[in-house]
Amino acid sequence: MKKLVEIKDVCKIYNPGENEVRALNHVSLTIGEGEFVAIIGQSGSGKSTLMNMLGCLDTPTSGKYFLHGQDVSHMTDDEQSDIRNREIGFIFQGFNLIPSLTALENVELPLIYRGVGKKERDRLASAALKSVGLAKRMTHKPNEMSGGQQQRVAIARAIAQAPPILLADEPTGNLDTASTKEIITIIKRLYHEGRTVIIITHDPGIASQAKRIITISDGMIKSDIINPEYKDEI
Amino acid sequence: MGTFGEYIKSALSSIRNNKGRSFLTMLGIIIGISAVLVVLIIGDGMKATVNSEIDSMGASSISVTLDDTKTDKRFTRSQLKAIEENIDGIYGISPSFTVWGNANSKRGEGFELFITGGSESSETASGIKMLHGRYYNSSDVEDGKQVLVVSQSFARNIFGYEEVVGETLDVTAYDITKEFMIVGIREDTPMDIAFSSYGEDIILTADGPYTSLAEAYGFDMDNMFNSFTIYLDSENRNEVLGKARSVVENVTGLRGENAVKISSGSGFDETTNSILDIITSVVAIIAAISLLVGGIGVMNIMTVSVTERTREIGIRKSLGARTSSILTQFLAEASILTFTGGIIGIIFGITVSFIICKIIDFSFSVNPVLVAAVVAISTSIGLFFGIYPAKRAANLDPIEALRNE
């Protein structure tokens, strides 16, 4: 298995000095291409910091982060933007859709920043929306859709430009049981289509859907196991 | 360009989504731009109206001078005649020559006299109005006759009544005394009015043929004048201005020496114009302050908008928007607001100035360069006042921005 994410001895320290907070304390982690990983931890465990780090939204205080073999631990803001655009599809707890844009326009956003032309953008965005079952909702705005539908738009946005990593931060945290099932099914399907999926969650029920479970606590990795209960079915 | 078009599109959609607020923001620009435009257009109208009033007075003059730093030549009498014949559309030309003298008449005592010598075309100078008798004519000039045209206050002061045609007086200047005959009485000119408040001494004025004055007091007429005035109707002004230089240079043989200075006119309309320009600029500057306030309004609203849309900015950044993408989007938004405000302001300003010009009967015209400049200015106001909020937006930390509710 090819290494996709390689974190070596990473620390993230807030407020360096007397009241310093070690959000990540010498964390090392390797994730290969095509893995399905859940990172589970309580709030304050450092999992959000880890997710920001993995998503190139933040840089480590010390240590190295290699993404696709490229050192991304010390990049400028614009370089990070480009990496996020190319490598990472985010799925957030709060969906993070832009309310004034239609579903289609929201899905097109990362493609705009990549410089994809209008026609190709339309094609990719509608294909992505179709693949999450929203072919009929393309011109709807977020507030005209249910939470589950909004999260599906967000997933379409994350996969529209086919990034190697899907990074899902509590993707079902705001959803009811039915929608949660629906979203998990879609995420599993994406994994089966060959994407690398990383889910960050505090919910053991969600984590147990993944093939590999990493537990984080106090900024350190406590366990990293292959999920014995994993069912390889959708 | 494609990507830039997308930023414009998203700026437009954000403006559309906040119609009320966008309009209020534009209102400041609309008022500022239209205020500046109204002032400038009405200023132009005022100038055009005043100028056409001046022109409708009919008489106008152009003065021609030989630059004595470039040449020591003087106009000879025959050159003056040749110049006069070679410029079409003029009443005539007149050299100017003044004599301060002392005059005695049979009835009056000695008094100071200021005599302006010229040619018969001086009669057409603005402000000359005959009351009795006649102005000196071409044969007076040609033959150097000792005649004078005196002012109304001259007649009143010296003779006690106005109808003094045919009276004689002795004028002493440069220790030479000559007898002159009065052939006409004219109304007082501004010069008489100026002299009347000169002091205790009464200074009176009279006009006479430059030939006779020069002859009488021993001047060499072929070597004394380095300037003259062209009298003409203001309708022919531009045409004459265009031709005068080459005629003068040809006649005097000064071609290519840049020694002939032409000053367009009595200076009256120039002075008036420059005063009007100053008034217009002062008022325009005051109006421009409202434009500045409008610009600050744009900055204010854009800052609020950035704060409100912090989360949106975070989302865009997480999806790969660079700093410059966000900057462009918000700058585009600010410029579109002010550009649109500018266009509306122009339409509004032109309409208002048209109405005002109609009401107060000023001539109305719109200078296209002015309109283009106003559009450019209003767009750059957007860029300038948009920079601060746009930079704030662009430099937001995506993690912080995403956390924002």
Chain centroid to CA B353: 21
How confident is the model at residue A220, as a pLDDT? Answer: 93
Q: What is the pLDDT of residue B1?
A: 41
Per-window interface: B 252-281 vs A, CB < 8 A: none
pLDDT reported for residue A88 = 93
Whole-prediction pTM value? Answer: 0.68
- Distance from the Cα of A226 to chain B's closest Cα (Å) equals 30
SS3 for B66?
Answer: strand
On average, the pLDDT of chain A sits at 91
Q: Would an 8 Å CB–CB cutoff place B322 in contact with chain A?
A: yes
pLDDT in tens, B6-32: 888 888 888 888 888 889 888 989 999
Residue with tokens 């399907």, as numbered in its chain: A189
- Chain A hits for B318, Cβ within 8 Å: 55, 57, 84, 90, 96
Which residue, chain included where needed, has tokens 């072929």? B222
Structure tokens at B93: 């030309």
Under a CB-based contact definition with an 8 Å cutoff, are residues B89 and B240 in contact? Answer: yes
Size of interface A-B (CB pairs under 8 A): 61
> How do strand A196-201 and strand A36-40 relate by DSSP bridges?
parallel
pLDDT tens, residue by residue, B63-81: 888 887 878 788 888 888 8
Residue B169 has pLDDT above 90, yes or no: no
B positions 173-232 inside 8 Å of A (CB): none
What is the mean predicted confidence (pLDDT) over B330-338?
Answer: 90
To the nearest whole angstrom, how far is the Cα of A117 from the nearest Cα of chain B? 7
Q: CA of A229, closest CA in chain B: separation in Å?
A: 33
Interface probe with B: pick from A102, A112, A124, A143, most Cβ of B within 10 Å: A112
Question: Among A201, A204, A155, which Cα is nearest to A48's?
Answer: A201
Q: Is the pLDDT of residue B57 over 60?
A: no
pLDDT at B265 over 60: no
Do A113 and B316 count as a contact with CB atoms less than 8 A apart?
Answer: yes
Q: What is the tens place of the pLDDT at every residue in B292-307?
A: 888 898 899 889 988 9
Two tokens, residue B184: 């006409």
To the nearest whole number, what is the mean pLDDT of chain B?
Answer: 83
Identify all chain A residues contacting B316, using CB atoms and an 8 Å cutoff: 98, 109, 113
Q: Check A77 against B323: CB less than 8 A apart.
A: yes
Domain ranges of chain A: 35-59+77-226
pLDDT score, position B277? 85
Q: What is the pLDDT of residue B54?
A: 66
Q: To 5 degrees, how large is the angle CA A60–CA B318–CA A184?
A: 100
The helix/strand/coil state of B62 is strand
User: Which residues in chain B are closer than 8 Å to A166, comparing Cβ atoms?
Assistant: none
Which of A135-139, A204-208, B94-98 has the least mean pLDDT? B94-98
**Cβ separation of A114 and B320 shorter than 8 Å?**
yes
Look at residue B403 in the predicted model and tell me its pLDDT. 84
Q: Which of A37-51, B238-252, B378-392 has the lowest mean pLDDT?
A: B238-252
Nearest to B315 among A86, A96, A118 (CB): A96
Predicted pLDDT of residue B220: 82
What pLDDT, in 10s, does the model give residues A181-197? Answer: 999 999 999 999 989 99
pLDDT at B195 over 80: no
Top residue of A53, A95, A96 to mutate, by most chain B CBs within 10 Å, is A96
pLDDT at B107 over 70: no
pLDDT tens, position by position, A114-133:
988 889 999 999 999 999 99
Average pLDDT over residues B90-101: 84
Inter-chain contact B318–A113, Cβ cutoff 8 Å? no
Q: Does B312 reach chain A within 8 Å, measured CB to CB?
A: yes
Contact residues, chain B, for A117 at CB < 8 Å: 2
CATH topology of domain A35-59+77-226: Rossmann fold (3.40.50)
What is the distance in angstroms between the CA of the first residue and the CA of the last residue of chain B? 33
What does the buried/exposed string (b/e) look like for A61-92 if buried means 16 or more CB atoms within 10 Å of the residue's CB? bebebbbbeeebbebeeeebbbbbbbbbbbbb
Angstrom distances, CA of residue B146 to CA of B140, B263, B264? 8, 31, 32
Q: Taking 80 as the threshold, does the pLDDT of residue B396 lie above it? A: yes
Over the stretch B141-154, which tens digit does the pLDDT of each residue have?
Answer: 888 888 989 888 88
Could you tell me the CA-to-CA distances from A65 to A24, A26, A39, A82, A225 in Å, in that order? 13, 12, 17, 16, 21
Task: Compute the nearest-CA separation of A233 from chain B (Å).
Answer: 30
Between CA B15 and CA B386 the distance in angstroms is 14
Residue in A closest to B14 by C-alpha: A100
